[in-house]
């Protein structure tokens, strides 16, 4: 907090704005295969499983690199680490336009994926400019850079139709390189790093940075992020393919409709950060998981034909979800996922203020791995089941599991913080009913109810 004494609001706004724009550019590059991958699949005649691997490979690199990049951001400063990262990703994206075989595309995609590692760097960098009571809002605004996925879906289809997918790769690479230079020129080293240099204090070693990762709580946060972010990335990559295959739409229409999911899943992240600061991240997570369970359940129901034996003979009808209700449901799902993404990262600087880079890097890595694993799983389930909605069946099982783990973990924490909860029955309204019933069976016994005292338990603080 002492390092923040001389930081002005103007400096904070400058850093937050530039970092958010830079992250937007990185995310646009990171999800580039959601559009150009559809054409590459057609050119190389790939199966859905091979397509899932192709679009997921950049996510793998971006995810695995987040842990070490988060540590480096804490040690050497997010400004220099992010600049080098963006330049490397831009070079790899430009080289993508030279690939010809499937293996070459996969190798190039590994380099493209470096752009996804910018999230862990940005989280560590931006959080150092704000006090704890404002970090949720600040990190939520920074996370709006996820809108880069929508930018790619809006713009890339038109560029690809007009000039080919290789032009998309080259333009996106040039834009990222320019943004790297702008970011370095318009930002400064964070105040914590500056204070460490002045005092001669050495940053924490990598081993110390990794110490909090032994806690199960960190991995629970990672599972939350596996859904709210990993599933977001997976659907951002998969939905254009879904619209083309399930609804027989052209790539431009599919990209525009896919953007209607990516846009709320990105823009409203700032609202999620503000809500987490105001009402608590725990409540926001309950809202996120509850609505997501409902949405994925409805989306997972496949088109089904029924025949009912009626009074006057068989009655046939069909249950199917059209494009409009499907798009509305994915919009709602994306909105609540955006709130959840901010809520997860609200926890980290509060619980682990000295290890934001490593803890945030691990949580981001696991979440990003969801963006790698899930598209492949979607493709495999399509190939094995032949049911388009199978991807949402998988997401329903995932979010339901995360909700249960979160709920029972909170119950354990409440009982640990308030031991008197251990003596409280699971169903307090049942107290005395068995004794009353037994007394009623014996004559001469006064069965009048006695007032029962139930402990007054205060809810634990957020």
Alpha-carbon gap, residue 283 to 281, rounded angstroms: 6
- Which of helix, strand or coil describes residue 317? strand
Torsion 33-35-38-43 (CA) sign? negative
Percent of the chain with pLDDT over 90: 19
Rg (CA), the chain: 25
Given this model, what pLDDT does residue 207 score?
58
For residue 177, what pLDDT band results from cuts at 50, 70 and 90?
Answer: very high
Segment 74-83 mean pLDDT: 86
Q: For residue range 133-173, list pLDDT tens digits in order.
A: 777 778 878 878 878 877 888 888 889 888 888 999 999 99
In a domain, 440, yes or no: no
Q: What is the pTM of this model?
A: 0.66
Between the alpha carbon of residue 44 and those of residues 31, 37, 255, 279, 462, the distances in Å are 20, 10, 21, 50, 52
Q: Which residue has the tokens 């400063």?
A: 77
Domain-embedded: residue 450:
no
Number of alpha carbons in the 13 Å side-chain half-sphere of residue 341: 35
- Per-residue pLDDT, averaged over 344-359, amounts to 73
Chain segment 56-71, per-residue pLDDT in tens: 888 888 888 877 888 8
Residue with tokens 């609001």: 9
When the pLDDT of each residue in the chain is averaged and rounded to a whole number, the result is 81
**46 or 195, higher pLDDT:** 46
Residue 43's domain comprises: 10-417
Show the DSSP H helices in 226-322 as ranges. 232-247, 251-262, 264-267, 269-279, 281-299
The CA distances from residue 7 to 121, 125, 408, in Å, are 20, 14, 41
Whether the Cβ atoms of residue 344 and residue 272 lie closer than 8 Å to each other: no
Instruction: Report, as an integer, the average pLDDT of 99-126.
Output: 88
Question: Residue 455 falls within a domain, yes or no?
Answer: no
> pLDDT band at 89, cuts 50/70/90?
very high
Confidence at residue 153, expressed as pLDDT on a 0 to 100 scale: 81
Query: 131 exposed, middle or buried (CB, 10 Å; 0-12, 13-18, 19+)?
Result: exposed
| Counted domains in the chain | 1
Torsion 348-350-352-353 (CA) sign: positive
The residue among 310 and 292 whose pLDDT is bigger is: 292
Burial pattern 233-242, b for ≥16 Cβ within 10 A else e, equals: bbbbbbbbbb
Between 156 and 439, where is the model more confident? 156
Contacts of 441 (CB under 8 A, 6+ apart): none
CATH number of the domain encompassing residue 306: 1.20.1250.20
Is the pLDDT score of 392 beyond 90? yes
Domain annotation covers residue 2: no
Q: What whole-number distance in Å separates Cα of residue 273 and Cα of residue 295?
A: 22
Residue 452 lies in a domain: no
Asked if residue 283 belongs to a domain, the reply is: yes
Give the confidence band of 266 by pLDDT, cuts at 50, 70, 90.
low
pLDDT at site 162: 87
Q: How far apart are CA 161 and CA 97, in angstroms?
A: 16
pLDDT of the residue at 61: 86
- CA–chain centroid gap for 144, Å, is 11
Q: What pLDDT is stored for residue 442 in this prediction?
A: 58
Share of residues in the chain with pLDDT > 70 (%): 83
Residue 431 has pLDDT above 50, yes or no: yes
CA distance 281 to 429: 31
Domain assignment of residue 457, yes or no:
no
Q: Does residue 441 form part of some domain?
A: no
pLDDT at 244 over 80: yes
b/e 115-126 (16+ beta carbons within 10 angstroms → b): bbbbbbbbbbbb
| For range 301-305, the mean pLDDT | 83
Helix 281-299 crosses helix 269-279 at what angle (to 10 degrees)?
130
Give the 3-state secondary structure of residue 77. Answer: coil
């Amino acid at each position: 907090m002492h390092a923040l004494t001389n930081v002005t609001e103007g400096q904070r706004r400058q850093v937050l704005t530039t970092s958010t724009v830079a992250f937007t550019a990185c995310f646009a590059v990171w999800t580039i295969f959601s559009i150009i991958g559809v054409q590459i699949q057609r050119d190389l005649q790939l199966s859905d499983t091979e397509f899932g691997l192709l679009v997921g490979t950049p996510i793998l690199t971006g995810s695995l690199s987040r842990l070490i990049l988060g540590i480096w951001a804490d040690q050497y400063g997010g400004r220099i680490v992010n600049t080098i990262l963006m330049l490397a990703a831009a070079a790899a994206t430009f080289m993508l336009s030279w690939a010809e075989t499937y293996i070459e595309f996969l190798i190039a995609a590994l380099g493209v994926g470096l752009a996804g590692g910018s999230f862990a760097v940005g989280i560590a960098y931006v959080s150092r400019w704000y006090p704890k009571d404002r970090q949720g809002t600040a990190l939520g605004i920074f996370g709006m850079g996820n809108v880069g996925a929508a930018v790619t879906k809006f713009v890339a289809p038109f560029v690809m139709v007009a000039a080919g997918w290789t032009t998309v790769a080259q333009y996106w690479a040039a834009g990222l390189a320019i943004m790297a230079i702008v970011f370095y020129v318009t930002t400064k080293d964070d105040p914590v790093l500056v204070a460490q240099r002045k005092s001669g204090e050495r940053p924490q070693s990598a081993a110390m940075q990794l110490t909090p990762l032994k806690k199960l709580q960190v991995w629970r946060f990672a599972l939350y992020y596996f859904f709210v972010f990993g599933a977001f990335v997976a659907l951002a990559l998969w939905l254009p393919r879904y619209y083309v295959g399930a609804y027989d739409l052209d790539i431009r229409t599919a990209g525009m409709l896919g953007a209607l999911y990516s846009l709320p899943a990105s823009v409203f992240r700032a609202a999620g950060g503000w809500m987490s600061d105001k009402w608590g991240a725990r409540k926001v997570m309950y809202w996120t998981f509850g609505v997501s369970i409902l949405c994925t359940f409805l989306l997972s129901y496949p088109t089904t034909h029924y025949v009912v034996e009626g009074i006057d003979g068989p009655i046939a009808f069909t249950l199917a979800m059209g494009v409009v209700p499907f798009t509305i449901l994915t919009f709602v799902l994306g909105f609540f996922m955006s709130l959840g993404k901010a809520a997860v990262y609200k926890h980290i600087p509060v619980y682990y203020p000295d290890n934001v880079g490593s803890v945030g890097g691990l949580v981001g890595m696991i979440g990003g791995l969801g963006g790698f694993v899930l598209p492949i799983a979607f493709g495999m389930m399509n190939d094995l089941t032949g049911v388009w909605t199978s991807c949402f069946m998988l997401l329903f099982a995932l979010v339901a599991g995360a909700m249960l783990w979160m709920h029972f973990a909170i119950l354990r924490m409440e009982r640990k913080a308030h031991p008197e909860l251990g003596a409280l029955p699971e169903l307090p309204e049942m107290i005395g009913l068995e004794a009353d019933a037994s007394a009623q069976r014996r004559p001469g016994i006064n069965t009048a109810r006695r007032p029962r005292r139930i402990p007054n338990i205060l809810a634990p603080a957020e």
